[in-house]
């Protein structure tokens, strides 16, 4: 192992990041929306949990069509979230507690309200070149614009192209119609975005997360996709590695904690993105393991999680990334995913075990773990009963689309209820008071109804809580080099419901076993070693795994 790779493994392998979805974390002024002063107020809670970095979702000016992922100004603060002075205070206070701030940079697209796009709409050729505009047919009209440049689909439903009659051009939007894709082939755009990074570094930011960053490089020619929705033409595009290296170099972020969200990516690409020799990104989020309950690969078609497939995906990515000197971001949950304990476990009968099984599985793997707000409390998906309770643009679009495909309103609602991004966006429950202590006003999104029992105050008073279990996992990672930088190997489990692996470093071997079912399963034989952590209070012997049980043994000198 080279010195560069060993240094990377020790640095990133010892860290734990925590994601704050700012709208739902803590409201400080009673308007029902979380804000920057609210995050500052809760820094002691995060320091006590033991996290090293705080990833905050976008708080830049935005029309909030996609809850902040539609940025209209990269160098300012959305007034609903506070002021620049509030951010600077947060930066100082976080640093005083040893917590680095990770900003969420949305560089694939801007809001159509961004000044760049408005100047493009006014016909300014400089800013037309900032986006992916394509000429329409000479006889196109608003009433009859003709066919778009390609048949690609937006990830939020419908065409990925929008016609602008005043320009007689189409612009590309891989997401919402108000999120226009930037033209990364334009060096002026790349220079602008590198300068944004330098701006926030000057404010004390020490880490960056890049939203859907593997989509930034588009093909040189526009082709219809007759096999899919178009993503194969723009995911991990032709100049992606070149553009990332330039951004890292010009933004001055080489060696910093960075992570890229990779949409529909490949393993080979992610090895390239995260191998230290390439000077691109520190680690990658990939989502293949979170599609094992997609029937036929369709997010909006339900099936039970396929645990053998989940095991194969984790095995492939862990072992291949290690072999190629890449690095994984380890996660089950974020602001775009339903709560994982409800999704992969049984929160009705085994809430505690389901809520601790999942982090045991990932926190002991090779990579850097990410905790999504409320995950450490065992927060569950919503108990909404009406589509009117949802706010997410994707969910509302697909509620309509699913009915257009032939589902009844009840059937469409059942799918949305299981898949909605709002399942993970309900406000953080701080205590058992009204609105869970999140706000003194009316929350922008309703809390899940079990918050009087599942909240931070209650769990901090309980030394056997889900939160206490997360704290122990964090302490183990910081203490044990075998977790930080040990090798990884998946083991052949005696049951399709069990995922097992080991980590090795020198004469130490860590063996982890996780039962992803509500039935007892046979366990792998582990000779000797101490029981390092487990989510049942009392061991029941080493031959059986109880429902949703996770256990790890540390063996030395074998």
Catalytic residues: 211, 261
d(CA 532, CA 435): 37
Q: What are phi and psi of 528, to 5 degrees?
A: 70, -165
- Contact residues for 534 (Cβ-Cβ < 8 A; gap 6+): 360, 549, 550, 551, 552
The CA distance from 525 to 542, in Å, is 7
Give the tokens for residue 26. Answer: 């803590």
Distances (CA, A) of 396 to 23, 385, 543: 19, 14, 47
Report phi then psi at 165, rounded to 5.
Answer: -60, -40
Q: HSE on the CB side for 129, CA within 13 Å?
A: 9
Three-state SS annotation for 307-363: HHHHHHHHHHHHHHHHHCCCCEEECCCCCCCCCHHHHHCCCCCCHHHHHHHHHHHHH
Query: Minimal CA–CA distance to 356: which of 370, 382, 337, 375?
Result: 375
In sequence order, which residues have a C-beta less than 8 Å from that of residue 485 and are 6 or more positions away? 6, 9, 10, 13, 366, 505
From the centroid of its chain, how far is CA 438? Answer: 22
DSSP state, residue 152? P
Give the three-state DSSP class for 375: helix
Q: What are the angstrom distances between the C-alpha of 326 and each of 5, 279, 315, 557?
A: 9, 12, 14, 28
Distance CA 497, CA 491 (A): 13
Which residue from 122, 141, 119 is spatially nearest to 130, judged by alpha carbons?
Answer: 119
Length of the chain: 558
Tokens of 312: 């194969």
Q: Nearest Cα to 259, choosing from 19, 528, 517, 544?
A: 19
Q: How far is CA 405 from the centre of its chain?
A: 29
């Amino acid at each position: 192992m080279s010195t560069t790779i060993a240094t990377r493994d020790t640095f990133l392998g010892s860290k734990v990041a925590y994601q704050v979805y700012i709208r739902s974390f803590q409201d400080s002024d009673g308007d029902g929306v979380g804000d920057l002063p609210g995050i500052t107020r809760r820094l002691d809670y995060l320091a006590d949990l033991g996290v090293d970095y705080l990833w905050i979702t976008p708080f830049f000016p935005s029309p909030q069509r996609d809850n902040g992922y539609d940025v209209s100004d990269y160098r300012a603060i959305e007034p609903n979230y506070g002021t620049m002075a509030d951010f600077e205070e947060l930066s100082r206070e976080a640093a005083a507690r040893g917590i680095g701030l990770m900003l969420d940079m949305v560089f694939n697209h801007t809001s159509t309200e961004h000044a760049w796009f408005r100047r493009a709409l006014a016909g300014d050729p400089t800013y037309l070149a900032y986006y992916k505009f394509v000429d329409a047919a000479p006889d196109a009209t608003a009433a009859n614009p003709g066919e778009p440049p390609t048949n690609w689909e937006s990830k939020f439903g419908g065409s990925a192209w929008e016609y602008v009659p005043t320009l007689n051009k189409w612009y590309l939007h891989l997401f919402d119609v108000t999120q226009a894709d930037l033209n990364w082939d334009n060096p002026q755009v790349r220079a602008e975005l590198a300068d944004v990074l330098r701006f926030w570094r000057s404010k004390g930011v020490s880490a960056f997360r890049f939203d859907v960053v593997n989509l930034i490089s588009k093909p040189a020619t526009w082709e219809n996709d007759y096999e899919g929705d178009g993503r194969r033409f723009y995911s991990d595009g032709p100049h992606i590695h070149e553009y990332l290296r330039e951004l890292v170099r010009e933004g001055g972020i080489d060696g910093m904690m960075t992570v890229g969200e990779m949409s529909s990516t490949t393993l080979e690409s992610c090895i390239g993105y995260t191998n230290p020799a390439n000077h691109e990104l520190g680690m990658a989020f990939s989502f293949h393991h979170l599609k094992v309950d997609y029937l036929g690969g369709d997010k909006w078609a339900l099936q039970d999680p396929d645990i053998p497939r989940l095991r194969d995906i984790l095995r492939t990515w862990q072992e291949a990334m290690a072999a190629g000197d890449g690095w994984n971001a380890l996660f089950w949950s974020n602001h775009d995913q339903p709560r994982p304990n409800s999704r992969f476990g049984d929160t009705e009968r085994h809430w505690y075990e389901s809520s601790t099984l999942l982090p045991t599985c990932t926190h002991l793997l090779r990579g850097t773990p990410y905790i999504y707000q409320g995950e450490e409390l065992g927060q569950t998906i919503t108990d909404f009963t009406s589509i009117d309770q949802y706010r997410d643009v994707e969910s509302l679009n697909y509620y309509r689309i699913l009915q257009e495909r032939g589902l009844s309103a009840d059937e469409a609602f059942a799918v949305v209820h299981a898949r909605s991004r709002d399942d993970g966006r309900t406000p953080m429950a701080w205590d058992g008071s009204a609105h869970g202590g999140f706000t003194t006003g009316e929350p922008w999104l309703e809390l899940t109804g079990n918050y009087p029992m599942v909240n931070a105050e209650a769990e901090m008073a309980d030394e056997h809580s889900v939160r206490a279990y997360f704290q122990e996992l964090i302490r183990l990672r910081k203490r044990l080099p075998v977790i930080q930088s040990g090798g990884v190997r998946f083991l052949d489990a005696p049951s399709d419901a069990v995922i097992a692996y080991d980590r090795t470093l020198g004469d130490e071997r860590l063996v982890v076993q996780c039962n992803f079912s509500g039935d007892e399963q046979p366990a792998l034989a582990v000779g000797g070693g101490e029981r390092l952590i487990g989510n049942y209070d009392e061991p029941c012997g080493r031959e059986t795994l109880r429902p949703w049980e996770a256990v790890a043994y540390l063996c030395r000198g074998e």
